[in-house]
Amino acid sequence: MLFKSNSNIDEEQIKLVENAQKRVKQRKRLFYHFSIMLFGIITLLILNILFGIKKEISFYNYPWSYWASIFWVLILLAHTYNVYITNRFMGKDWEKEQIKKLVLKQELKISKIKTELEKEARVKAESELFNQKNSKNLITLIAAASENNVIGKDNKLIWYLSDDLKHFKEFTKGHAVIMGRKTFESMPKALPNRTNIVITRKVDYLANDAIVVNSLSQALEKAAEDKQPFIIGGGEIYSLAIKIADRIELTRVHTELEGDAYFPDIDHNIWEEVSREKRLKDEKHDYDFTFIRYNKK
């Protein structure tokens, strides 16, 4: 596919170069024509003077060499008209225009290659993730999200829900908890009694009491021994992991809030709700909320 699109661009470039070569040849031919004509007319005139053909072969009292010269000049004019007027004039501006076109083609080619490479990298990362999916463990997303899918703002949680914290602790205790670098930094320290795994693109990132990895796929490898590794956020990591997760433990908070981190949409063609348990707002809970479990169909 990549090769095909590049070869299309190359073909266009070849056409441009061929066109430029053709134009150079046209101009050269015109110059040769002019030189030959000059030589021919001078020769005719000399012959005319030397052999006095004027008297013997004449047309309306003009020698044939005269008419032949005029005729030749007319042909040259027609040739010049054809090169410079009928075909586009090939001056400096034309050359600049051609160079500009070539540069544009090159830029297009580079940007297409870049897009293809990025796409290939994404496909590779996704296929690595799907290989992880074949593992036997139950990859679980655990999150609390408002009705409009907001999960946080300014790298902080935006509600206090005591039972949700307990719920989170109970589920994740003793398991691997996989999180993005921003979520890790939003916490005072690594979560105790859990294997903390932090995902970052930074190669030299250090995190106290946590394993640092550079992709979700690596994080899942580190958690391979855990029967139920938990993906605990935030928005970027949930979006990646929802494609390969087996279960979602969602706390739906019954309010709409503003924020800057979101839980991805749950596609009900893919996810089946298997349980729900509603809790009401009180002094330990800012809003009504519902614990919902989804299993992948």
Ligand X SMILES: NC(=O)c1ccc[n+]([C@@H]2O[C@H](COP(=O)([O-])OP(=O)(O)OC[C@H]3O[C@@H](n4cnc5c(N)ncnc54)[C@H](OP(=O)(O)O)[C@@H]3O)[C@@H](O)[C@H]2O)c1
Residues lying near ligand X in the complex (CB under 6 A) are found at 143-144, 151-152, 155-157, 179-183, 186, 199-202, 214-215, 232-237, 240, 261
Minimum CB–partner distance for residue 91 and ligand X (Å): 53
DSSP string, 161-195: BHHHHHHHHHHHTTSEEEEEHHHHHHSSSPPTTSE
Minimum CB–partner distance for residue 167 and ligand X (Å): 11
Phi-psi label, residue 207: left if phi above 0, alpha if psi -120 to 50, beta otherwise: beta
The residues with which 295 forms a beta bridge, in sequence order, are 247, 272
Minimum CB–partner distance for residue 217 and ligand X (Å): 9
Cα–Cα distance for residue pair 25/90, rounded to 1 Å = 11
Minimum CB–partner distance for residue 274 and ligand X (Å): 20
Of residues 201 and 297, the one with the C-beta less far from ligand X: 201
Minimum CB–partner distance for residue 156 and ligand X (Å): 5
Of 165, 163, 167, which is closest to residue 280 (Cα–Cα)? 163
Cα–Cα distance for residue pair 157/150, rounded to 1 Å = 10
Of residues 5 and 215, the one with the C-beta less far from ligand X: 215
Q: Are strands 140-146 and 211-213 parallel, antiparallel or unpaired?
A: unpaired
Of residues 83 and 249, the one with the C-beta less far from ligand X: 249
Of residues 240 and 245, the one with the C-beta less far from ligand X: 240
CA atoms within 13 A on the CB side of 56: 5
Of residues 105 and 285, the one with the C-beta less far from ligand X: 285
